[in-house]
Amino acid sequence: MPSIRRSKRLLLLLIPIVLFLIFLTLGHYEKLPPQISPEWSFLSLGNKFNYSYLGSNNTNSVFPVMSTYEELGFQLVPEDVKFQYINKMGKKGSPKDILKINMDKYKSLMDQEIHEPKDFDMETIRPPQDPKSYDHASATIVSLVRGAEAAALGKSIVQFEKKFNSKFLYPYTFINDVPFTDSFKERMRKYSLAPMNFVTIPAELWDKPESIDEAKERKAMDILASKDVSYAKKASYHNMCRFYSGNFYQLEEMKKYKYYWRIEPGVKFYSDINYDIFKYLEGTQKIYGFTINLYDIDESVETLWPETLKYLNSEDNYKYVNVNGAFQWILENQQLPKKNRVTGGYSTCHFWSNFEIGDMDFFRGEAYTNWFKFLDSTGKFYYERWGDAPVHSLGLALFADKKDIHWFRDIGYWHDPYANCPNSKGTLDCEKGLFSRWDNLNDQNCMATWVDDAIENPEKIY
């Protein structure tokens, strides 16, 4: 008899638990997109739900049944996609306090002596004895440059060759919207033994679209100029931003390559690079690399994030979002909260694209391509001044896995007024850990936020 009573009590305890589990399962089932079959998996018994239906970017991604919006800061539901900053590191204080916390973290990281990446067998990608017969990765060094910038670009190439490319001889692709002169070509060839290609950008990839309302554009330019937004009234700059955001990898000459390394006039390289950068990306299957990470001018991208949310909430575009994206990095609102307010929720953190190394197959992919086409249809590369850096960065943060984005912490680099200067034996002529030559610009540094969101153990990489 006692055993029967115990069984009854146990049954009474189990009934509400089973009902509660059924309630949770049905609740999630009702929220599934209509194309998903009503099967619940055994994961639900462990209070988990499989989000692989969100698309190929998201296979094998598993999250708690409870709303990801409250716990993880995002919700991917048809016509109700939303994101929020959740401050997962628990930082508190005024913007000045947050800046100190972040800069202390940055300085601590930069004080550490670092070496080459540890997540690949670097001995397999050392410089060859004969770079001319070397089996190169499918890659090119690309530079969008004016003829008048020949001297400044030449200085960049001299350093770049010394630190990296003379050891590998990757080809250069120089691009411009007007043909290069013979004197420019001859000058560039003096700087390197690597193959060089000189490309004139077709008008359809460079010129302002006919759909742009020029009166509206002039008015918008005047407003931006009144806010001291750089290059607001420079038409060629708007063309450049649009071209680098969505068209440079469509050039016929670029289609034969998978990877690119972008360099610009007037930059400096401080570190000896004794491994093949492109084969490192290839071997680790990473898709993008950067050195400097900072905030943008908020007035120049005032509606970039709201327009992106509009896109993600139309049709089934939510499926492109990678559930392991760097959402918190693009949503942070503590260090410079005004930027987040002006842009409708975007921190303006971005990878400074004057240095970027990337896999063009990512940009050529369906997720990024369809999003760029939508952005282009708004005309706001001209009605605002959306830069290629924030566009690339938002696309990467949303559609790529953050583990596939690499901080080249070991590469010393400078583009006035910002730098990445590692504490390493192969880095010379820069102040270790310096972010900017002007102290008042330290608040523009987004690197600590990136590390918080995307790199759990930096010491495992370097």
- Determine which helix (DSSP H) or strand (DSSP E) holds 433, and give its type and residue range: none
Question: How many domains, the chain?
Answer: 2
Which CATH number does the domain housing residue 432 bear?
Answer: 3.90.550.10
Is residue 71 domain-resident? no
Is residue 179 domain-resident? yes
Phi, psi of 114 (to 5 degrees): -120, 165
Q: Both 38 and 105 in a single domain? A: no
Give CB contacts under 8 A, 24+ apart, made by 45-51: 45/21, 51/76, 51/323
Is residue 368 domain-resident? yes
Q: Is 351 helix (H, G, I), strand (E, B) or coil?
A: strand
Catalytic status, residue 356: yes
The one catalytic residue among 282, 307, 356, 384: 356
The whole-model pTM stands at 0.86
Cβ atoms within 10 Å, residue 324: 15
Is residue 54 domain-resident? yes
Query: What is the mean pLDDT for each group of 10 consecutive residues in the chain (462 residues)?
Result: 47 49 42 32 30 40 55 93 95 98 96 94 97 97 97 98 98 98 97 98 96 96 93 95 96 97 97 98 98 97 98 97 97 98 98 97 98 98 97 98 97 98 96 96 97 86 80
Domain boundary, last residue among 66, 87, 113: 66
Cβ atoms within 10 Å, residue 89: 16
pLDDT at 363: 98
The answer to whether the CB of 128 falls within 8 A of the CB of 134 is yes
Range of the structural domain that residue 51 is part of: 2-66
pLDDT at 22: 43
Q: Both 52 and 149 in a single domain? A: no
Q: Both 59 and 101 in a single domain? A: no
pLDDT at 67: 63
User: Which residue type occupies 13?
Assistant: L
Q: Both 60 and 99 in a single domain? A: no
CA atoms within 13 A on the CB side of 124: 11
Is residue 85 domain-resident? no
Q: Both 403 and 357 in a single domain? A: yes
How far apart are the C-alpha atoms of 461 and 410, rounded to whole Å?
10
pLDDT at 33: 36
